[in-house]
Structure 1
Amino acid sequence: MPFNSLVFLLAFLPLALGLHALCAAWRPGSRVPLLAGLSLAYYAWWDWRGLPLLAASIGLNWLAGEVYGRTGRAAVLTLALGLDLALLGLFKYLGFLAGLIDAVTGAGFSAPALVLPLGISFFTFQHVAYLVDLRRGTAARMTLTEYALYIAFFPRVIAGPLVRPAEIQPQWNAAPAWDLAAARGLLLLAAGLAKKVVLGDGLAAAIDPLWAAAAAGTPLAPAAALQAVLGYALQLYFDFSGYTDMALGLALMVGIRLPENFRAPYRATSIQDFWRRWHITLSHFLRDYLYIPFGGSRHGLPRQFGALLGTMTLGGLWHGAGLTFVAWGAAHGLALGLHLLWRRAGLALPPLAGWAATFAFVVLAWVPFRAPDFATALAVYRGLLGLDGGAAAGAAPDAWPLAAVAFVLAVAGPTARDLTARLPLSGRVAAATALVLAALLLQVGNDANQAFIYAQF
C-alpha cells in the first residue's frame, strides 16, 4: 500500500486520521496503542508476509532492552544486535553471498529464494539505533507498545527517515498540535506526491526504455546516454525526496515531527557537503554507528581514510545486495577520502567549480547504482563517451523538457520543507492544495504510477 496509491490516499489515510482525531479528543492515553495498531495494519496491508518477522523482531529487541535495563548485561544487547544483522543477512544477502561463492569456486552453490520483507533494511537499523543508544545511555527504555510504534510507525517504516529514540520518544504522549502542524503536513503530503507522480514517474517513463536498451546490449548515442544518466539522477532525487516529504507530512498530520532528510543535495559544492544534504538521517547513522566506531578522525589520516572507505562501502551494500551497489558505495568512500586529502593540503575550489565537479561525480556514480550489472553500466559509460556510435533506442519519449524543469527545481528551487514553512496558511492555500491533490489523484489512478525506488531496499 504505497503512499502514492489510491487505496492509501482514499481509504487508509482518511480512516487513520479520523480514528486518531477521535482518540486524541476523547481518550488521549490510547493514542500510542492506536498509532501502533494502525502502523502494523498498514504494514500488513502492503505485504502481510513480512508481518510475522516484523512483529517477532519488535518483541525480541524490546525484550533485550528490558533485560539489559534490569540487569545491565551488555551481552544481551550484543546477542540481539547479532540476531538482527543475521536476519538481515539471511533475507537480503544470502543469495548474493551464494552467487559470490559460486563465481569463485564454480561449485554450483545456490541458496533458497526468500521473500525480502518490506523495509527490513530500515527497521533493522532502527533496532540497532535503539539498542546501541540504550547502551550509550542516550535512549530511555520504552514500553512494548511504544517500541512497536517506534519501529513500525507507518509514515516511515518502509523507507525512513531513520529516527533516533531520543528524537521521537518525547513526542509519543505530547498533545498534538492540530492546526498549524496538520495543515503544513497536508502541504508536505501534496508537495511530495507531486514530486513523485509528476517529476519522478514522468522521468522514469522517458528514461527506463534507454536503460532497458543498454541492458539488452543496444548501443546508446552520447545524447541518449546523457539523457539516461541525468534523467535517472533527477528521477531518484524526486522519487525519494518526494517519499520523504510525504512521510514528514503524514507524521505531522498525527502530531509527530520527523527529522529532515534532504537539504537541496544537488547544490552541494563538495562531496562532503553532498552527504550532509542527501539522505541526512542515513548519513548520520553511518557516521555514528560505523564511521566513528571504525576510528573516525581520532587515529591518524590512514585510519580515517580507511574508515571513510569502509563506511561508504558498507553503506552501498546496505542499499542493495549486489556488487554494483558495493562499487557505488566504494566510489563515494574514495571520493570522500580524496576530499579529505584535498582539504588537508589546504586546497580549495571556487564554489561554482566545486558544485560542477560534485554534481558531475554524483551523477556519474549513480550509473552502477541504477544498472542491473556492470555490463550495463559500462555500456552507458561508453555511450557517454561516444565509443559505440549508437542511437537513441526504442520509442522513448524525450526527457529533456521535463529534466530541465526538474534540474532547475533541484538546483535552484526551494525545498518542500522550506516552502511549506514559509507559506502563509489561508483559505486560498487550503483550496489550492485541495485542487492539487485532486489533480494528482487523477494521475495516481493511471497505469503509469510506479513504486517508490527506495521501497525495494
Structure 2
Amino acid sequence: MLFNSFVFLLAFLPAALTLHALAERFRPDWRLPLLVVLSFVFYGWWDVRFVPLLGASILGNWLVARAYLRGHQSWLIPAAIVANLAALALFKYLDFFADLASLLPGVVLAKPGWVLPLGISFFTFHHVMYLTDLRAGRAPGYGLTRYALYIAFFPQVLAGPLVRWSEIMHQFEERPYARPDAAERVGRGIMLLCVGLAKKVFLGDPLAAYVNPVFQAAAAGKVVSVAEAWQAVLGFTFQIYFDFSGYTDMALGIALLFGIVLPQNFDVPYRATSLTDFWRRWHMTLSRFLRDYLYIPMGGNRHGLPVQLGALFATMSLGGLWHGAGLTFVAWGAAHGAGLGAGVLSRRAGLRMPRIAGWALTAGFVVLTWVLFRATSFEAALAVYKALFGFAPMGSGFKWRTILIAALVAMVGPTAWAAVHRLPPSRTLAFGFALLFVVLLLKIGDDANYDFIYFQF
C-alpha cells in the first residue's frame, strides 16, 4: 500500500483515522492496540507472508528485553543483536555473499533469490537501537503493545525515519485529541501530507523519466552521450531528494494526524557547505544512528587521528552496504567515508575556504558519487562517468527546465516542516490545500505511480 495510492489515501487512511478517533473518544485504552493492528494491516497489505516475520521479530526482541531486565545476563543483548543482523543478512545479503564467493576461482554458489521483506532494514535498526540502549542502562522496559507500536508504527515502518525509543515512547501515553493544539496538529499534518505527496508526484516521478532510461542504457552496454549523462545524474540528484524527503514529509504528516511527532529527516541538504554538513542535513536519523551506534563505538575521535579516519571509513562503507546489497553501494559509502576523512585532515591542517567554494566542492562530490548509488554495476557507472567527463558523443536534448525547477525548490526556501509551521491558519489556506489534494488525486489517477526509492533498502 503506497502512500501515493488511492487505496491508502481514500480508504485505509480515512478508515484508520475514524477508528482511532472513536477509540480516543470512547475507549482510550483501545487506542494503542488499535494502532498496532492497523500497522500490521498496513504492513501485510504488501505481502501477508512477511507479517509473521515482523510479529516474530517484535515478540522475540521484547522477550529478550524482559529476560535481560529480570536476570541482567550480559550475553542476552549481544546475542539478540547478532540474531537481528543475521536475519537481515539472510533476507537482504545472501545473494550478495553468493556473488562475492563466486569471484573466487572454482567457487560457484547458487543464489537463493529470496524476496526482500519491506522495511526489514528499518525495523532491524529500531531493535538494535533499543537493545543497545537497554544494555547501557539508558532505556527502560516497556509492555508488548508499546514496543510493538514503536517497531511497527505504520507511517515509518517501511522507510523511516529511524526513530529512537526516547523520541516516541512517551508520546504513546498522551491523549492526542485532548491537547489544546490538537486541531492545529491535524491541520499541519494534512498540509505535510499534501506537500510530501506533491514533491513525489510533481517533481520526483517526472525526473525518473529523465533518469531511468539513461542508466538502463548504460547497464545494457550502450553508449551514453554527454548530454544524457548530465541529464540523468542531475536528474537523479533531485529525484532521490524529492522522492525520499517527500515520503518523509508524508510520514511526519500522517503521524501528526494520530498525535505522534516523528523526527525530521532532511534540512535542505543541497545547501551544505561541507560533506560533514551534508550528512547533518541528509537522512538525518540514519546519520545519527551511524554516528552513535557505529562510529563512536569504533573509537570515534577519542583515540587519535588514525582511529578516527578508520572509523569514518568503516562506518560509511557499512552505511553504503546497508543501502543495498551491491559493491557499488559499498563504493558509494566508502567514497563518502574518504571524503569525510579528507575534511577532518583539512580542518586539522587549518585550511579554510570561502562558503561558496565549500558548497561547490560539496555539491560536485555528492552529485558525482550519486552515480555509484544509482548504477547497477561498476561497468554502468564507468560508462556514465566517461560521458560526464566528455569521453562520449555530445548528444542533444538536455531536459534542463524540470531539473532547474527541481534545483530551485530543493535549494531555496525552508523545509516542508518549517514552511507548514510558519503558515497561519486561515480559510484561504484550507481551501488552497484542499484544491491541491484534489489536483494530486487527479495526477495520481492519470499517471503511473513509481514506488518510493527507499522501499528497496
Q: Please indicate the TM-score interval, normalised by the length of the shorter structure.
A: over 0.9
* 1:316 corresponds to: 320
SS at match of 1:172: helix
Deviation, structure 1 residue 75: 1.0
In the alignment, the residues of structure 1 paired with residue 340 and residue 150 of structure 2 have an alpha-carbon distance, to the nearest angstrom, of 32
SS at match of 2:173: coil
Contact residue 163 and residue 258 of structure 1 kept, 8 A? yes
Alignment of 1:3-22 (within 5 A): 3-22=3-22
| Mean Cα deviation higher: 200-209 or 303-312 | 200-209
Percent identity over paired residues: 58
TM-score after normalising by structure 2: 0.97
What amino acid sits opposite 1:356 in the alignment? A
2:409 maps to 1:409: yes
Alignment of 1:224-243 (within 5 A): 224-243=228-247
Deviations 1:373-394 (A, max 9, x none): 01110000000111122635xx
SS at match of 1:296: coil
* 1:201 corresponds to: 205
In the alignment, the residues of structure 2 paired with residue 96 and residue 106 of structure 1 have an alpha-carbon distance, to the nearest angstrom, of 17
2:332 maps to 1:328: yes
| Mean Cα deviation higher: 67-76 or 252-261 | 67-76
* 2:393 corresponds to: 389
Unaligned 5+ residue runs, structure 2? none
Alignment of 1:15-414 (within 5 A): 15-176=15-176, 177=179, 178-389=182-393, 391=395, 399-414=399-414
Deviation, structure 1 residue 106: 3.4
In the alignment, the residues of structure 2 paired with residue 242 and residue 126 of structure 1 have an alpha-carbon distance, to the nearest angstrom, of 22
In the alignment, the residues of structure 2 paired with residue 284 and residue 341 of structure 1 have an alpha-carbon distance, to the nearest angstrom, of 22
Deviation, structure 1 residue 30: 1.5
In the alignment, the residues of structure 2 paired with residue 391 and residue 13 of structure 1 have an alpha-carbon distance, to the nearest angstrom, of 46
SS at match of 1:347: coil
In the alignment, the residues of structure 1 paired with residue 29 and residue 333 of structure 2 have an alpha-carbon distance, to the nearest angstrom, of 44
In the alignment, the residues of structure 2 paired with residue 9 and residue 18 of structure 1 have an alpha-carbon distance, to the nearest angstrom, of 13
Deviation, structure 1 residue 398: 5.3
Q: What RMSD, in angstroms, separates the aligned Cα atoms of the two structures?
A: 1.1
Deviations 1:7-59 (A, max 9, x none): 10011000001111111111112111111110011000122121111110000
Q: Structure 1 residues 105, 53: closer, same or farther in 2, change over 3 A?
A: farther
Deviation, structure 1 residue 142: 1.2
Contact residue 219 and residue 390 of structure 1 kept, 8 A? no
What amino acid sits opposite 1:285 in the alignment? F
In the alignment, the residues of structure 1 paired with residue 311 and residue 47 of structure 2 have an alpha-carbon distance, to the nearest angstrom, of 37
In the alignment, the residues of structure 1 paired with residue 59 and residue 413 of structure 2 have an alpha-carbon distance, to the nearest angstrom, of 44
SS at match of 2:301: coil
Contact residue 227 and residue 398 of structure 2 kept, 8 A? no
What amino acid sits opposite 1:258 in the alignment? L
In the alignment, the residues of structure 2 paired with residue 407 and residue 446 of structure 1 have an alpha-carbon distance, to the nearest angstrom, of 25
Contact residue 58 and residue 151 of structure 2 kept, 8 A? yes
SS at match of 1:140: coil
What amino acid sits opposite 1:4 in the alignment? N
Contact residue 314 and residue 329 of structure 1 kept, 8 A? yes
Contact residue 227 and residue 394 of structure 2 kept, 8 A? no
In the alignment, the residues of structure 2 paired with residue 420 and residue 260 of structure 1 have an alpha-carbon distance, to the nearest angstrom, of 13
SS at match of 1:259: coil
Deviations 1:338-390 (A, max 9, x none): 00000011111100000010001001000010001011100000001111226
SS at match of 1:90: helix
Deviation, structure 1 residue 220: 2.1
Residues paired across the two proteins, number: 453
What amino acid sits opposite 1:107 in the alignment? V
What amino acid sits opposite 1:222 in the alignment? V
Deviations 1:76-96 (A, max 9, x none): 111111110000010000110
